[in-house]
Amino acid sequence: MDNEDRTIDLINNLKDIPAMPNVIVKILKLMHNESAGATEMAAVIKCDQALCTKLLSIINSAYYGFGRQITSVNMAISLLGLKKTKNIIVTVAMSPLLSFQGAKSLWRHSILTAVGCEYICEKYNLGSADDAFVMGFLHDIGKVVLNLIDSERYQSFMSSKVHPDQNIQDERLKFDTDHSSTGSLLALRWQLPDVIKDVIRYHHYPLKAREFFAPALVNIVNIIVQDNFTEDWYDKELAKMINLHIDDVNALRNEIIEKGEALLKELA
């Protein structure tokens, strides 16, 4: 049995395969439909009352600092823009799945990677930044599945201090699969857009991807935001391949963490 068959087998044996929240499916589809706009997005959001309330509370928070009361979903979308509204919706709708018991660190890591991917794309003018936040946010979604397979055993991986690319090899030894394989199967079932699917599958081996920009970007940010990051973990060669030249990686790391922590506070 190869790695993919073993992973399919493991997932098929699970009783509860996580479902992608419906609102995310709709929003992501919408964003990949060029003729769809603010009206369509507002219609999707308004179907979910709890989501509307949370969106308005976040956009009225100090993090966005609009300085006036925003009282409607339409107003929120026109001030934030489609892309940022999508990011908030995906984050809020996904939070129950990513913050399962004992996985506070996965929730934090997902937000930091999301913020980092978006920030780097904007700051260094790297193209294709549209999905940057969501890509970073969902890259480790396969860990949710490994946690379902054997929660106790998986918790020890969550607190691992080794380099993430080493960590995934250790997963394979213990679980006969790894979170990029379980994640890419989930992504397939959830019918996520190709660019996000590729990030989930290849973020630990970006050069294996046909289009390696997005998996490489996530690989770099994933490593920068690790708690025990040291400068020698930063892969300059890989960064060069996506036209990313960071002068002071520690300073950039601090900026990303500060932004990420501020967003985490608003989402709590």
Which residues lie near Fe ion (CB under 5 A)?
A: 140, 222
CB of 159 to Fe ion, least distance (A): 14
- Nearest residue to 225 via CA among 125, 117, 130: 117
CB closer to Fe ion, 85 vs 110: 110
Specify the length of the chain in residues.
Answer: 268
CB closer to Fe ion, 131 vs 140: 140
Q: How many angstroms separate the CA atoms of 117 and 223, rounded?
A: 12
- Whether the CB-CB separation of 106 and 114 falls below 8 Å is answered with no
Q: Maximum CA pair distance of the chain?
A: 59
CB of 134 to Fe ion, least distance (A): 14
Burial class (CB in 10 A: 0-12, 13-18, 19+), 24: buried
CB closer to Fe ion, 85 vs 222: 222
CB of 31 to Fe ion, least distance (A): 23
CB closer to Fe ion, 58 vs 213: 213
Q: Is 36 helix (H, G, I), strand (E, B) or coil?
A: coil
Q: Which positions ≥6 away from 242 have C-beta within 8 Å?
A: 126, 212, 213, 216, 217, 220
* Distances 112 to 158, 195, 217, 224 between C-alpha atoms, Å: 15, 19, 13, 10
CB closer to Fe ion, 58 vs 200: 200
Q: How many angstroms separate the CA atoms of 139 and 127, rounded?
A: 19
CB of 218 to Fe ion, least distance (A): 8
Tokens coding 51: 């989501």
CB closer to Fe ion, 42 vs 114: 114
CB of 162 to Fe ion, least distance (A): 12
Query: What is the residue type of 156?
Result: S
CB of 254 to Fe ion, least distance (A): 19
